């Protein structure tokens, strides 16, 4: 029997939400369908001089807005259904956070963790040549970003190769996001998805209409994080810094749990040094890392891969809130079990949209060829200085020079990005939570899907793409 794929999950969630929509079912079918899936094979020389044939995919789910946008993951598990499902998620993720992109996703069937950097570079540059030849990359066409198994290094190679192939495109830096700062990346992109997870959790906890039963704020909340990669690490760090107690961390090789709390940075250092967390000298260590997510906590943050919470273990989850930091960590069967048990699920469609939000800021920055703080900082400092002058004149009190200098300092680009991300996640949560109440929907996932699919459907109508 074929195992359910991410695209199967997306289709089921979409159809559950579509029953609440009044749009023509034929239009909704068009909105659901993936527009393009490009499967490619190309030869790359491996480290011993032999030729290896690489299999790769790029899916573009919807062209209702351009460019399409989505990460590239490097994994031996990549297949067409996976990238189709992830591309579809990207379409609706962008709609939720009001980012003007259609959804896309890419995948390359290599193991980046067991391959040399030189081989990964050759594969990456050859991939860009293939995408460029078939019009699947460009600032106004399709803009990749990091995903599982890729990062700033690979994005730098992509940008450099695209620039070489398209020397007359003055916007070549905006062909990809998630680049290093030295290559016109943007501060905050690395931690953006994890930081967005933090803001989403905070909004859910503060929602007076939510049924999770937890008090607002993070003070003393017990958190288990599955996956201590880029997303999980930054989410855990931010949650911890705002009062949460990290009681469990699960990785690919093992998991560790301590109800009194773990030193998250110490666990991260152990993982970095030893390649995993097996043998960590504190707490209770589980050889089967999935046992970790079944331990008592207030908030469970699956930040690893898809299908981590399934019908097999959903009834053993002991959390009040499941915060989906990964793409598709909960299967539809498991989602029904969690909802029946009264566990609130903050859906991936909304919760991990921080990455594409800040990618949007980077794309805008690259197209405008100027940083945000360069445009705003001096003006902000001048206005603040005038305000402080007025306060001093009216009160007759002189403000301490050190304090005045601190208050007058204008926002850095990182400050601007952080504030805009927080505002985006706050407003997006309010939209889907309000829709859930107004339409009496069963959960936040249905509200997120319904909000986004209706927005995309309306775009099809306004563009004349549906009669």
The tens digit of pLDDT for each residue in 236-250 reads 999 999 999 999 999
| Residue 6 pLDDT grade (very low, low, confident, very high; cuts 50, 70, 90) | confident
pLDDT of residue 410: 66
Each as own residue / partner, the long-range contacts of residues 367-375 (CB below 8 Å, 24 or more positions apart, any chain) are 367/139, 367/171, 367/174, 371/413, 372/413, 372/416, 372/417, 373/410, 373/411, 373/412, 373/413, 373/415, 373/416
pLDDT of residue 318: 95
Choose the weakest-confidence range: 19-33, 86-100, 264-278, 416-430: 264-278
pLDDT of residue 385: 74
**Alpha carbon distance 16, 445 (integer Å):** 10
Q: Quick one: residue 299, left, alpha or beta (phi over 0 = left, psi -120 to 50 = alpha)?
A: beta
Cβ(246)–Cβ(225) below 8 Å: yes
CA atoms within 13 A on the CB side of 193: 28
8-state DSSP, 171: T
pLDDT of residue 384: 73
Q: Which of 318, 244, 219, 230 is nearest to 272 (CA)?
A: 230
Spatial CB neighbours of 77, under 8 Å, sequence gap ≥ 6: none
Mean pLDDT of 349-359: 94
CA atoms within 13 A on the CB side of 3: 8
Kind of pairing between the strands at 68-74 and 299-302: unpaired
pLDDT of residue 3: 56
pLDDT of residue 397: 79
Q: Which residues are catalytic?
A: 105
**Which carries the bigger pLDDT value, residue 234 or residue 374?**
234
* Tens-digit pLDDT profile for residues 324-337: 999 999 999 999 99
Mean pLDDT of 163-171: 94
Q: Which helix (H) or strand (E) holds 123?
A: helix 117-133
3-state secondary structure of 272: helix
pLDDT of residue 117: 94
Sign of the CA dihedral running 401, 403, 404, 406: positive
Domain 1-33+187-369+412-427+443-467 has CATH 3.50.50.60: no
Sign of the CA dihedral running 127, 130, 132, 135: negative
* Average pLDDT taken over every residue of the chain: 91
Q: Which of 275, 316, 200, 256 is nearest to 246 (CA)?
A: 256
Sign of the CA dihedral running 270, 328, 300, 355: positive
Q: Which of 203, 225, 224 is nearest to 214 (CA)?
A: 203
CATH topology of domain 35-185: Rossmann fold (3.40.50)
Q: Is the pLDDT of residue 320 over 80?
A: yes
Q: Is the pLDDT of residue 1 over 60?
A: no
| Residue 400 pLDDT grade (very low, low, confident, very high; cuts 50, 70, 90) | confident
Mean pLDDT of 282-307: 91
Virtual torsion, Cα 307, 311, 312, 315, nearest 10 deg = 120
pLDDT of residue 409: 74
Shared fold status for 1-33+187-369+412-427+443-467 and 35-185: yes
| Residue 450 pLDDT grade (very low, low, confident, very high; cuts 50, 70, 90) | very high
Q: Is the pLDDT of residue 386 over 90?
A: no
Cβ(3)–Cβ(82) below 8 Å: no
Terminus-to-terminus CA distance in the chain, angstroms? 39
Please give the share of the chain, as a percent, with pLDDT higher than 70: 97
pLDDT of residue 69: 96
Virtual torsion, Cα 418, 419, 420, 421, nearest 10 deg = 50
* Tens-digit pLDDT profile for residues 43-100: 999 998 899 999 999 999 999 999 999 999 999 989 999 999 999 999 999 999 999 9
pLDDT of residue 74: 95
**Alpha carbon distance 74, 122 (integer Å):** 13
What's the predicted TM-score (pTM) here?
Answer: 0.90
Query: Domain map of the chain by residue range?
Result: 1-33+187-369+412-427+443-467, 35-185
| Residue 135 pLDDT grade (very low, low, confident, very high; cuts 50, 70, 90) | very high
pLDDT of residue 33: 92
Cβ(303)–Cβ(197) below 8 Å: yes
Mean pLDDT of 160-174: 95
């Amino acid at each position: 029997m074929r195992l359910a794929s991410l695209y199967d999950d997306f289709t089921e969630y979409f159809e559950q939400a579509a029953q609440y929509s009044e749009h023509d079912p034929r239009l909704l079918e068009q909105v659901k369908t993936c527009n393009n899936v490009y499967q490619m094979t190309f030869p790359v020389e491996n480290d011993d001089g032999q030729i290896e044939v690489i299999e790769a995919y790029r899916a573009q789910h919807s062209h209702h807005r351009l460019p399409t946008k989505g990460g590239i993951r490097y994994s031996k598990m990549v297949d067409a259904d996976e990238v189709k499902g992830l591309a579809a998620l990207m379409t609706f993720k962008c709609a939720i956070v009001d980012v003007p992109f259609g959804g896309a996703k890419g995948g390359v069937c290599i193991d980046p963790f067991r391959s040399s950097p030189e081989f990964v570079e050759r594969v990456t540059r050859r991939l860009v040549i293939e995408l460029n030849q078939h019009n699947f990359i460009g600032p106004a066409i399709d803009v990749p970003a990091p995903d599982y198994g890729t990062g700033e290094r690979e994005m730098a190679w992509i940008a450099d190769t695209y620039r070489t192939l398209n020397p007359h495109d003055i916007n070549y830096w905006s062909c990809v996001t998630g680049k290093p700062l030295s290559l016109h990346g943007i501060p905050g992109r690395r931690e953006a998805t994890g930081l967005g997870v933090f803001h989403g959790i905070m909004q859910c906890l503060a929602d007076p209409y939510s049924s999770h039963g937890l008090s607002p704020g993070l003070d003393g909340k017990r958190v288990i994080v599955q996956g201590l990669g880029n997303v999980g690490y930054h989410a855990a760090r931010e949650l911890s810094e705002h009062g949460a107690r990290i009681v469990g961390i699960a990785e690919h090789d093992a998991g560790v749990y301590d109800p009194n709390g773990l030193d998250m940075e110490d666990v991260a250092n152990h993982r970095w040094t030893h390649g995993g967390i097996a043998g960590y000298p504190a707490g209770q260590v589980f050889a089967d890392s999935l046992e970790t997510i079944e331990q008592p906590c207030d908030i469970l943050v699956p930040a690893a891969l898809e299908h981590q919470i399934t019908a097999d273990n959903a009834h053993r989850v002991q959390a009040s809130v499941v915060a989906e930091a990964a793409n598709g960590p909960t299967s539809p069967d498991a989602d029904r079990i969690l909802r029946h048990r009264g566990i609130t699920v903050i859906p991936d469609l909304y919760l991990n949209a921080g990455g594409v939000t800040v990618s949007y800021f980077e794309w805008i920055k690259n197209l405008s060829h100027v940083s945000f703080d360069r445009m705003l900082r001096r003006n902000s400092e001048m206005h603040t200085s005038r305000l402080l002058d007025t306060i001093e004149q009216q009160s007759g009190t002189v403000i301490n020079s050190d304090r005045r200098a601190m208050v007058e300092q204008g926002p850095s680009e990182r400050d601007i990005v952080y504030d805009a991300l927080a505002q985006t996640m706050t407003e997006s949560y309010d939209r889907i939570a309000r829709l859930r109440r107004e339409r009496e929907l069963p959960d936040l996932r249905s509200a997120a899907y319904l909000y986004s699919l209706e927005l995309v459907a309306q775009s099809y109508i306004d563009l004349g793409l549906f009669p």
